[in-house]
Amino acid sequence: MNISEKIKEMQGDLDKYHVLEKNEEECKLEDMIMLMLNDKGYLGPGKIIDENEESLDFMFYKKEGSTFSLCIKKEHICGLSILHKPDEDEESADDNIEVSKALYQ
């Protein structure tokens, strides 16, 4: 599954992505990609194996046993966002919309 397929899949199931820490100001790019790729247990834990000004390199293993790496060019990432449902104390009677938390490169 490539990253664009994963993003399309994520768009259909946004309600399960919930920011756990209320005071979190930003979600790092690396953490966001890890969240997308590790979702639903397709992949085991991943780690960053290299980072430079142009790209990020990750290594993952599939639960079935194979290992692979992923290189993402930073210039192609214009933005990623994660949507979460507001906590009860964030909701108002007039306001029943999802809150967007975005990270822009």
pLDDT for position 51: 81
Give me the residue spans of the domains in the chain. 3-103
Residues 6+ apart with CB under 8 A from 51: 57
Q: Which residues contact 9 (CB under 8 A, 6 or more apart)?
A: 1
pLDDT per position as a tens digit, 40-69? 666 666 677 888 888 878 777 666 666 777
Q: What is the pLDDT of residues 71-97, one digit of tens each?
A: 777 766 654 444 444 555 545 544 444
pLDDT the model gives residue 97? 44
Measured distance CA(105)–CA(79) in Å, rounded:
6
Question: What pLDDT shows up at residue 72?
Answer: 75
pLDDT at residue number 26: 53
